[in-house]
């Protein structure tokens, strides 16, 4: 599918990987609606062709309003890039005292990373069905997983479970949507230098993790994530799979 001229929804598009994706899709000629609970960190991303829709991805009415905005201002939605999510504060299942951690710690991460992603998929896919297929394709959905889905670290049970489920959804979604000419792909980043990570992680922590990245031994650039999103959109054979984007990093 061509990016130029397509209408795209980018969740979590106000920061990090989502912001880079919104910027790249717009630069390549897409019209973009950013769905986020926060305003864009860099307001210059907004323009006549990049609109902001205040949206909690777990909220049906919010997502519905964002889709309405995209359709009324730009036309039929063809692209969805789900970036809203995050690991939040890690926490072991058992506290040092031996007491079990509160259930909310697990439920909140599943709700944002898995339920939120699913919620936008179901509503956006229904919107895509309203558009005619162009050159054999109707839409593309790209979800953001994580290396943690494969090598979840201690304290990341909830996040790993949520991202593992994002991966597990990919093939059944791709199969279900195939008759509608909609592809579904997941990207599992290693460690990327979003503003959040650059701010929150001290230099020593960044140096320790990049020492584990075989090549290139550095954090990924959000623009490199965006570049893979564009490749996935433009290559019609990429479907029903999860692509790692991690410089061969395997988390320990
Ligand atoms: N940065 C990394 O190293 C890395 C690695 C692996 C996976 N990921 C995944 O990539 C995605 C983006 O990560 P990032 O580092 O760019 O994060 P980020 O924190 O920089 O950006 C996430 C964005 O999502 C928004 N958001 C949070 N909750 C939301 C909600 N309920 N509804 C709508 N928007 C919401 C935030 O406001 C923010 O703008 C996440 O799913 C994350 O789990 C990131």
Q: Does residue 210 fall inside a structural domain?
A: yes
pLDDT at 41 > cutoff 90 = yes
For residue 156, give the DSSP letter.
Answer: -
By annotation, the residues acting in catalysis are 159
pLDDT at 200 > cutoff 90 = no
Write b or e for each residue in 191-228: b if 16 or more Cβ atoms lie within 10 A of its Cβ, otherwise e: bbbbeebeeebeeeebeebbeebeeeeebbebebbbeb
Q: Does residue 51 fall inside a structural domain?
A: yes
Between the CA of 14 and the centroid of ligand 1 the distance, in Å, is 9
Q: Does residue 67 fall inside a structural domain?
A: yes
Q: Does residue 252 fall inside a structural domain?
A: no
In sequence order, what are the residues at sequence separation of 6 or more whose Cβ sits closer than 8 angstroms to the Cβ of residue 107?
A: none
Q: Does residue 251 fall inside a structural domain?
A: no
Residue-level pLDDT at 206: 87
For residue 100, give the DSSP letter.
Answer: B
- Mutate which of 9, 16, 34, 224 to test ligand 1's pocket (most atoms within 8 Å of Cβ)? 16
Percentage of the chain beyond pLDDT 70 is: 100
Please answer whether residues 56 and 120 qualify as being in contact, where contact means their C-beta atoms are separated by less than 8 angstroms.
no
Write b or e for each residue in 15-33: b if 16 or more Cβ atoms lie within 10 A of its Cβ, otherwise e: bbbbbbbbbbbbebebbbb
Residue-level pLDDT at 116: 98
Q: Does residue 250 fall inside a structural domain?
A: no
The domain of 233 spans: 7-245
Give the tens place of pLDDT for each residue, 202-245. Answer: 889 888 889 999 999 999 999 999 999 999 999 999 999 999 99
Residue-level pLDDT at 197: 84
**Which residue is associated with the tokens 């970036």?**
83
pLDDT band at 189 (very low <50, low <70, confident <90, very high): very high
Q: Does residue 175 fall inside a structural domain?
A: yes
Report the chain's mean pLDDT, rounded to a whole number: 97
Q: What are phi and psi of 31, to 5 degrees?
A: -105, 130
pLDDT at 104 > cutoff 90 = yes
Atom of ligand 1 nearest to the CA of 220: 3
pTM (2 d.p.): 0.98
Between the CA of 12 and the centroid of ligand 1 the distance, in Å, is 6
CA distance 158 to 101: 11
**Residues in the ligand 1 pocket, defined by CB under 6 Å:** 11-12, 14-18, 35-38, 55-58, 83-87, 112, 116, 144, 146, 189, 191-192, 194-197
CATH number where 15 lies: 3.40.50.720
Q: What's the rounded mean pLDDT across residues 5-34?
A: 98
The total of structural domains in the chain comes to 1
Residue-level pLDDT at 250: 96
Between the CA of 84 and the centroid of ligand 1 the distance, in Å, is 4
pLDDT band at 134 (very low <50, low <70, confident <90, very high): confident
Q: Does residue 2 fall inside a structural domain?
A: no
Tokens of 201: 């992680």
In the chain, beta strands by DSSP E: 7-11, 31-36, 50-54, 77-82, 139-144, 182-189, 242-245
Beta bridge partners of 99: none
Between the CA of 136 and the centroid of ligand 1 the distance, in Å, is 32
**Burial class for 156, CB neighbours closer than 10 Å (0-12, 13-18, 19+):** buried
pLDDT band at 92 (very low <50, low <70, confident <90, very high): very high
């Amino acid at each position: 599918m061509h990016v130029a001229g397509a209408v795209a929804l980018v969740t979590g598009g106000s920061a990090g990987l989502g912001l880079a994706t919104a910027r790249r899709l717009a630069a390549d000629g897409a019209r973009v609606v950013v769905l986020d609970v926060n305003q864009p960190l860099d307001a210059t991303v907004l323009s006549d062709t990049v609109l902001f829709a205040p949206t909690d991805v777990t909220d049906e009415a919010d997502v519905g309003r964002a889709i309405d905005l995209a359709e009324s201002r730009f036309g039929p939605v063809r692209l969805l890039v789900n970036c809203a999510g995050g690991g939040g504060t890690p926490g072991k299942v058992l506290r040092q005292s031996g007491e079990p951690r509160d259930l909310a710690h697990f439920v909140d991460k599943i709700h944002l990373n898995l339920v939120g992603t699913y919620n936008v998929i179901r509503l956006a896919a229904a919107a895509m069905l309203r558009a005619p297929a162009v050159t054999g394709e109707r839409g593309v959905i790209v979800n953001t997983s994580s290396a943690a889905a494969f090598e979840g670290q201690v304290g990341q049970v909830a996040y790993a479970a949520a991202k593992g489920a994002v991966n597990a959804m990919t093939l059944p979604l791709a199969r279900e949507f195939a008759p509608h000419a909609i592809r579904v792909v997941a990207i599992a980043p290693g460690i990327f230098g979003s503003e959040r990570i650059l701010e929150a992680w001290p230099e020593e922590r960044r140096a320790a993790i990049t020492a584990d990245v075989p090549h290139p031994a550095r954090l990924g650039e959000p623009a490199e994530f965006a570049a893979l999103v564009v490749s996935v959109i433009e290559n019609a054979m990429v479907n029903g799979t999860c692509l790692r984007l991690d410089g061969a990093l395997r988390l320990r």
